[in-house]
Structure 1
Amino acid sequence: MPFARDLAAHGDRIALITPSGEVTYRALAERVAATAERLGPARRLVLLAGANRAESLVIHLAALAGGHPVLLVPGDSTATIDALTAAYDPDVIARPDDHGSWALHERHRTSAHTLHRDLALLLSTSGSTGSPKLVRLSHDNLQANAESIAGYLGIRQTDRAATTLPLHYCYGLSVVHSHLLRGAGLILTERSVADTAFWEEFRAARGTALAGVPYTFDLLDRVGFAHMRLPHLRYVTQAGGRLAPERVAAYAELGRKSGWELFVMYGQTEATARMAYLPPALAHERPESIGIPVPGGSFRLRPVDGIAGPDTGELVYSGPNVMLGYAETPADLALGRTLEELPTGDIARRAPDGLYEIVGRRSRFIKILGLRLDPHRIEAQLEGHGIRAACVGDDDALAVVTARPAGADTSAVRRLVSEGCGLPPHAIRVLPVSELPRLASGKTDYEAVRRLARGTQDPTPAPGDDLCALYSEILDRTDVTEDSSFVSLGGDSLSYVEMSLRLEQILGVLPADWHTTPIGRLRTPAAQCTPSAVPRRGLRRSLETGIALRAVGIVLVVGSHIPVFLVQGGAHVLLGVAGYNFARFHLSVGERGERLRRMGRSIARIAVPSMVWIAFALLLTREYDLANVVLANSLFEQDNSDPEWRYWFVEALVHFLAGLAVLLSIPWLHRTERRHPFGFALALVALGLVGRYDPWGLAHVRFHLSPTVVFFLFALGWAAARARTPVQRLLLTAVALVTVPGLFPGEQTLRTSVVLGGLLLLLWVPALPSIDPVNRLAGVLAGSSLYIYLTHFHVYPHLRDHSPVAALLVSLICGVAYGAMATRLTSRLLSSLQALTRQSALRTSLTPDAARGG
């Protein structure tokens, strides 16, 4: 394999950009050579658990360089690894050990198989299952395919492509091979494009290339890709299924305006990945076409019975990248080439301009009630009406599984299908689901669709199914998929506490970036979800510092007001935590409109229960006025009486969020924050420090409670969430140590120390050692901290003279109860409004006039 053997020829150019650092081609070549030496000179069958990590890639390249056939399987599917191990008895298994490092388990010193001299790679035709049917690819196949792709894409040494697709998927693998061939760089990442951290890595690495299947483009739409600034992006490639022509045209136009090119490609695993591509210059005017054969390949159209039309037939491909053939047993590994050309199974036509168009799928044609139907065409027609669907059928009925929320108007979908294909409505079954089932490659999982259509479920839950249900429950969402994350689903600080603690019970260990990690990447074996796997009382765990500070902070606030003790500063610590959470949850979304919507929801979730409670307290006690109710007390000149200032914390928080929403609604400020997240936060800290020292006399009579004065604490929390390096954290530490002292009137060393301690913990200690009962208690208190703050002023006065400790406990309990009631009512209200909106939108989009294009 020349491209695997000649890595050192690219010298000190950067080959890999990984989360742990960069790897040059020279260093990569040394690691590949060392691993090849471990594999030995005798050819052996190597089963490799694929992953977008340097260790996995090194083993893959070492096996290719040493002539060892590689059986590449999904690294996150133990069932697939076990099934193919049993079916093919590999000589070596390369997979992660218990510590996450790739280990070589040598099962046979010499191969147990007869391996054909041309055999280089074995890939599954499905990309996810443990089916023993594999595609046999040769060294020449891999080299020719890499050279062809590198040629028509014009890959340069300066290019850097992100691994947006799995290594075990032929499309993802072709990205790796073609870029290594040209000495280009690979941004090795396992993050989803729906993850904000992916785009931070991509920009930092000066990424030039993105690859995606149709589902990837769905995710790009969700994260606001059209508005992202990616100055080094040169080209975007699409394959792995049909992308609707209007979307091809839209992305081609977006690329033209943004300075990058869109390559729409067509291929199959049996052709080592690629057979055709649409030149970018034609993408806008011919978006329905798959284009022309790749360099070195050619097409012919084979007549098909029952399909008439000029220049129409089954598409047959020839070229040096056509596989050797299939393998279904270990004996097939000894076979050489068993076919010279590849019948694709697709029905295509050659247009007068020489471009090819796919018009149907031969193997998917079905006959229902005597009518011959093409499910692919039905899916395309529904997509034209904004409905994502997967169709399967038998002799009696067509099943249409639609990606629509529960409660969708199935009769409208049935009518559209009936009018489009001629089937009577009674022969069409419509099943709405929150999201179409997908393979790891992002393609529709038609086997899972068939199970849904039959009304049965896979006895082995897909990875993440249990977590999807948990996310749906806590966030009250019906559109949860394995590509969703807590942040992408709109999670905020109010739901974060419950989510993190429930997840830790399932996962055992919670990753630091779980809130931005797609569900599919969170490790969730089914055994972990059984009752026996629930942590035992007293089991050692960790507690996120932000949650601990919220719990301790609110106890300090209430306890000092009674007083049970006098340890002040808890509310000011909570302001820092609020800024920290704001950056984590609201700023992790890239698209400006979605950011603003989330900020609006967050403001409402704080302001509405606060205003309701203060209005109730006003009617009950007459201690407040209208300015308090509308959270505007600090905007008016007031005296120093205690009741007027009780809710300063809530006022400040709402004012901060509203002001920031206005700032980030300005496009250039939004773009600046996305490009320079820490620098932007540092600028806000600087702005906050101006208010901290109040040069213009804006602060009211209670200086340390004024929003303009305490904003710097919120900004410091924001910056703490954005700090990525020790130098950045040291800078913020210095700022805190200099500016917090002197904030409070008089000599309040303990209060100052509490605030400094909280801020420094946020900066330097992501989690604290804990045990399960403490986690549960902290979760309840932290999740209800806002409501405890609101209610405690009108609870403890009735009990403190009798028992200060009882006053503290009852205040906490009443706040938790109010929080549970407010959260439940708010969730029901929002769910009802969302359901009404969705149903109205669906009825509007599927009226008879709309269905006919009118």
Structure 2
Amino acid sequence: MSPLPTPTHEATRPWPATRPTTRFATSLAGHGDRCAVWTPEGPVTYADLAARVEDAGSALGTSRRLVLLAAENSLDFLVTYLGALAAGHVPLVVPGDRPQHHKSLVERYSPDVVASRDGDRWRVSSLTAEPGHALHPDLALLLPTSGSTGSPKLVRLSHENLDSNALAIAEALRTRPDDRAATTLPLHYCYGLSVAHSHLAVGASLVLTDLSVVAPCFWQLVDEAGVTTIAGVPHTFDLLDRSGFAERDHPSLRVVTQAGGRLAPEAVRRYAALGRSRGWDLFVMYGQTEATARMAVLPPELVDSHAGTVGHPVPGGRFRLDPLSELECGLGELVYSGPNVMLGYAEHPEDLARGRDLAELRTGDLGHLRPDGTVEVVGRRSRFAKVVGLRIDLDRAERDLADAGVRAHCVDLGDAVGVLAAEPGSGEAVTATLTGRHGIPASGVVVLEGTDVLVLPTGKPDYPGMAALVEAHRARSRAREEKAAGDEAADGPSPQAVAELYRDLLDAPTADEHTSFVDLGGDSLSYVEVSLRLERLLGALPAGWHLLPPAELAAAAQRSRPGAATAARGGRTVPRWRRGWHAVETSVVVRAVAVLLILANHTHLSFVPGGAHTLLALAGFNLARFQLTARPRAERAKGIVRSALRIWAPSAVWIAAVALTVGTYDWRNVLLLNQVLGDWARWSPHWHYWFVEALVALLLGAAALLSLPAVDRWERRFPFAFPMTLVGLGLLTRYDVVVPDAGPYRGANAYVLIWLFATGWAAARARTVPQRLLVSAVPLLTLPGFWPTMPMRGPTIMLGVLALVWLPSVRLPGWLARGASTVAAASLFVYLTHFVVYPHLMAYSSVLAMAASIAVGIAYHRGWTRLEAGGRAVLPRVRTRVARARGVRTRAGASG
């Protein structure tokens, strides 16, 4: 590309010739009598435009000034803007239709001059007699950050930024002097402004208009003015689809450009094909205000084969990838360098005196760098939500909804994904898609139907605005639900609602108002989540709620309503300090504390051993509560085996994955048989999962024992004496009477720990004070001396067992109750994963190592839960197909 022509009248200017200026603004006269701006009244030549620009620059003063410009697509604005650049002033360009924004920026930055539309007049007003700012010599232009036009944060651009990017864009788009671009985008938007820059830099022309692309008169203007170039953001292309653009022919049109957000690959190919049939080329681009305008361009010849990319960097630019460890390999944040990278941000007037703050731009976009040099942008780093521990790519969610035939935009509501769906009645499809493909529970999806996308004046999606809209919809829905709940308060909570909750969370289609949690196969793994949801539905849960059918649960909730409770206390109200506190079952708190103690010990944050052995006692406690019900013997045994398998399956998958990738473990660990077939002579990583092995072995042993008819009858007849008898028998191995040589790791062996497991079992069966005292005596008398080298382990287990015996629940602040419940629900998964996580972070921080272990464990728990839900959804279909196949074979055999 040839260099810009030398200005012909620069020496006559009133401002100093040495002042830094923007070359395309000072070189206008060099294009002579070529058309610079097309108007219905006739062309404005470059010579005429240069004269007007010089006058505008002179009117702004000889000293450098900060000039706030209320942008509009008019010749008045363009002349004042170019005049400020040419004279070396610093324009601050803002949207012309937002006077409140102007006011806030005037208050924040105190500009020397304000130029804006005043009725029918374009008014340039000086607010100060003398310049009031220290402006860095390189500073040329200030623009609001993209998408935040209400913020005082500005992008500082230099003269080099403007000139280099104008030429780079013109070269990449093959802009010619005979091209003519219509201002289909606002000039306060960096994309729209760069259209003007790149065309003026090579002597091409502009058609200034505010008309929308859906207006018929806009297309009359295109044909009348001979427009060759149209620029658009994704929303522009939505409007083109609605305006019948594909059915029209505009002979002068040569180039259509797209940027400002991702256009779906199928739409890119469709428009490229349309362009080939109509005689124009489609260029897909990628940019940010912080890079002056554009950083990458996909030329027309690559559109079909690279429709999912944004092409190659613009001339002079370069990308690198900063990998993100928490995401998949090959994906990372795009980092751009080039002469168009901004000087930095400004948030206060003092920042205008600063020079360059950065050499490269962290885009905040996630992408791939393909081997052929093209760049693929897959989403914003900030366009991720975290719902129930799951990391959700909102852009991916939008694409999945589009694949399902739903036009929608997704936003982060903090605790849920908000969806703005265009089609009425699409709520069920949205929820089904997000729950099925991303594992989000239905409660984590908030849908606002029948509302189209909100856009900023730039045409980009207004995600903050949409989030506020969906949040307001959710607030109204909650208010309606609360009113309905208040209207039904006299009748109390519905048993049908409890049964529906059981059907959803336990995958129990047979649940009704007569089937309890344990009747439906609920166990300790599902107990925490179900209890939390029930508390939100019913309030405080009665002791033994898991044994009550929904009808009795609803009645108990009715009796314990705040009004009834207050009356029972003689009208006394709950103290203010206790409001917002929650009663959490002790078993949940013990489970959370125990696993946290394990992590704290292993990360050297503290040394309070005994967490794993406390969990073994808790396992016996939960066995008695959830499995040993009045169900038939075979069902009880199957329920225990099912619980053991639910522990073994995620354990085996995790251990196998680590064994294959790192090699720490082997097949004995995967099968949880290291205690049987492992090396007893020394401690090694193969013993990491002794607790899981012992737990599964004890559960399977209990299932085998209770499958015997005589034992089953004895346990039902003597529910407390039976586990106490097991305690006595277990003490024979604890004191080495039966197995005198249990090896150096006797405290990790299932058959040695039978007495501890049975103690928890007995704790759940203790009903009277003497029974509770007897159970309490067991750990107090038998734990001392079991670990002579770790005397603190015994007191930890004692406290855990005593809490289970004597404390039905613990009152905690709401935030702590939610945290404890989350950790308790994921305790097995935290234990499984932490051996791989914490060793890599110990050198940096024990706190970080512990926090990361918790986070990874919770993530694995959520992922496994989603996998289980998917399996439950697929299994009925598989069974149906198998049954049909068998039926076909049976009929074929019969006919043969």
Shorter-chain-normalised TM-score: which range?
Answer: 0.5 to 0.7
Conserved? CA contact 1:146–1:177, under 8 Å: yes
Q: Distance in 2 between matches of 1:171 and 1:377?
A: 25
Cα displacement (A) at 1:169: 0.1
Match of 1:314 among 324, 330, 333: 333
In structure 2, the partner of 1:363 is 382
Q: Find the residue that maps to 1:381 and give its secondary structure.
A: helix
The answer on 1:291 being equivalent to 2:308 is: no
Q: Distance in 2 between matches of 1:204 and 1:128?
A: 36
Match of 1:178 among 171, 185, 198: 198
How high is the TM-score relative to the length of structure 2? Answer: 0.50
Change in CA separation of 1:37 and 1:433 when aligned onto 2, cut-off 3 Å: same
Q: Distance in 2 between matches of 1:20 and 1:430?
A: 50
The answer on 1:428 being equivalent to 2:445 is: yes
In structure 2, the partner of 1:466 is none
Conserved? CA contact 2:334–2:364, under 8 Å: yes
The answer on 1:452 being equivalent to 2:473 is: no
Conserved? CA contact 2:147–2:462, under 8 Å: no
Aligned runs of 1:114-513 on 2, under 5 Å?
114-127=134-147, 129-310=149-330, 312-404=331-423, 407-455=424-472
Q: Distance in 2 between matches of 1:140 and 1:448?
A: 35
Cα displacement (A) at 1:432: 1.6
In structure 2, the partner of 1:107 is 127
- In the alignment, residue 377 of structure 1 is paired with which amino acid? R
Question: Over residues 482-520 of structure 1, what are the superposed CA-to-partner deviations in whole Å (9 max), with x where a residue is unaligned?
Answer: xxxxxxxxxxxxxxxxxxxxxxxxxxxxxxxxxxxxxxx
In structure 2, the partner of 1:556 is none
Question: Over residues 204-229 of structure 1, what are the superposed CA-to-partner deviations in whole Å (9 max), with x where a residue is unaligned?
Answer: 11110000000000111111111211
Q: Find the residue that maps to 1:275 and give its secondary structure.
A: strand
Conserved? CA contact 1:94–1:104, under 8 Å: yes
- In the alignment, residue 49 of structure 1 is paired with which amino acid? A
- In the alignment, residue 363 of structure 1 is paired with which amino acid? S
Cα displacement (A) at 1:185: 1.0
Aligned runs of 1:593-632 on 2, under 5 Å?
none
Q: Find the residue that maps to 1:102 and give its secondary structure.
A: strand
In structure 1, the partner of 2:114 is 93
Cα displacement (A) at 1:234: 1.1
Question: Over residues 335-383 of structure 1, what are the superposed CA-to-partner deviations in whole Å (9 max), with x where a residue is unaligned?
Answer: 1000000001111112233322112321222211011111111112222
Aligned runs of 1:59-74 on 2, under 5 Å?
59-74=80-95
Q: Distance in 2 between matches of 1:387 and 1:335?
A: 48
Q: Distance in 2 between matches of 1:32 and 1:218?
A: 37
Q: Distance in 2 between matches of 1:128 and 1:230?
A: 35
The answer on 1:46 being equivalent to 2:63 is: no
Cα displacement (A) at 1:85: 1.0
Q: Distance in 2 between matches of 1:167 and 1:456?
A: 34
Question: Over residues 651-678 of structure 1, what are the superposed CA-to-partner deviations in whole Å (9 max), with x where a residue is unaligned?
Answer: xxxxxxxxxxxxxxxxxxxxxxxxxxxx
Q: Distance in 1 between matches of 2:403 and 2:220?
A: 34
Conserved? CA contact 1:162–1:187, under 8 Å: yes
Cα displacement (A) at 1:427: 1.3
Conserved? CA contact 2:446–2:474, under 8 Å: no
In structure 2, the partner of 1:22 is 43
Which deviates more, 132-141 or 354-363?
A: 354-363
How high is the TM-score relative to the length of structure 1? Answer: 0.52
Deviating above 4 A after TM superposition, structure 1's stretches of 4 or more consecutive aligned residues are: none
Q: Distance in 1 between matches of 2:379 and 2:451?
A: 27
Q: Find the residue that maps to 1:455 and give its secondary structure.
A: helix
Structure 1: which 5+ residue stretches go unaligned?
A: 459-847, 849-854
Question: Over residues 259-278 of structure 1, what are the superposed CA-to-partner deviations in whole Å (9 max), with x where a residue is unaligned?
Answer: 11100000100000101111
Conserved? CA contact 1:18–1:54, under 8 Å: no
Q: Find the residue that maps to 2:220 and give its secondary structure.
A: helix
Aligned runs of 1:784-823 on 2, under 5 Å?
none
Cα displacement (A) at 1:189: 0.5
Conserved? CA contact 2:404–2:433, under 8 Å: no
Question: Over residues 684-740 of structure 1, what are the superposed CA-to-partner deviations in whole Å (9 max), with x where a residue is unaligned?
Answer: xxxxxxxxxxxxxxxxxxxxxxxxxxxxxxxxxxxxxxxxxxxxxxxxxxxxxxxxx
Q: Distance in 2 between matches of 1:434 and 1:456?
A: 11
Q: Distance in 2 between matches of 1:445 and 1:388?
A: 16
Q: Distance in 2 between matches of 1:408 and 1:126?
A: 33
In structure 1, the partner of 2:542 is none
Q: How many residues align?
A: 455
- In the alignment, residue 45 of structure 1 is paired with which amino acid? L
Conserved? CA contact 1:46–1:90, under 8 Å: yes
Alignment RMSD, CA only? 1.7
Q: Distance in 1 between matches of 2:115 and 2:158?
A: 21
Question: Over residues 728-767 of structure 1, what are the superposed CA-to-partner deviations in whole Å (9 max), with x where a residue is unaligned?
Answer: xxxxxxxxxxxxxxxxxxxxxxxxxxxxxxxxxxxxxxxx
Question: Over residues 178-199 of structure 1, what are the superposed CA-to-partner deviations in whole Å (9 max), with x where a residue is unaligned?
Answer: 0001111101111010111111
Q: Distance in 2 between matches of 1:175 and 1:35?
A: 22
Q: Distance in 1 between matches of 2:255 and 2:472?
A: 42
Aligned runs of 1:656-805 on 2, under 5 Å?
none
Q: Find the residue that maps to 1:363 and give its secondary structure.
A: coil
Q: Find the residue that maps to 1:451 and give its secondary structure.
A: helix
Conserved? CA contact 1:46–1:68, under 8 Å: yes
Conserved? CA contact 2:227–2:252, under 8 Å: yes
Conserved? CA contact 2:234–2:260, under 8 Å: yes
Conserved? CA contact 1:366–1:374, under 8 Å: yes
Q: Find the residue that maps to 1:47 and give its secondary structure.
A: strand
Cα displacement (A) at 1:332: 0.5
Conserved? CA contact 1:212–1:237, under 8 Å: yes
- In the alignment, residue 264 of structure 2 is paired with which amino acid? A
Change in CA separation of 1:123 and 1:457 when aligned onto 2, cut-off 3 Å: farther
Q: Distance in 2 between matches of 1:328 and 1:456?
A: 33
Cα displacement (A) at 1:284: 1.4
Q: Distance in 2 between matches of 1:456 and 1:111?
A: 49
Q: Distance in 2 between matches of 1:76 and 1:109?
A: 27
Conserved? CA contact 1:44–1:92, under 8 Å: yes
Conserved? CA contact 2:146–2:288, under 8 Å: no
Conserved? CA contact 1:87–1:329, under 8 Å: yes
Cα displacement (A) at 1:108: 1.2
Change in CA separation of 1:43 and 1:386 when aligned onto 2, cut-off 3 Å: farther
In structure 1, the partner of 2:640 is none
In structure 2, the partner of 1:651 is none
Q: Distance in 1 between matches of 2:462 and 2:263?
A: 16
Cα displacement (A) at 1:139: 0.7
Conserved? CA contact 2:406–2:426, under 8 Å: no
Conserved? CA contact 2:172–2:315, under 8 Å: yes
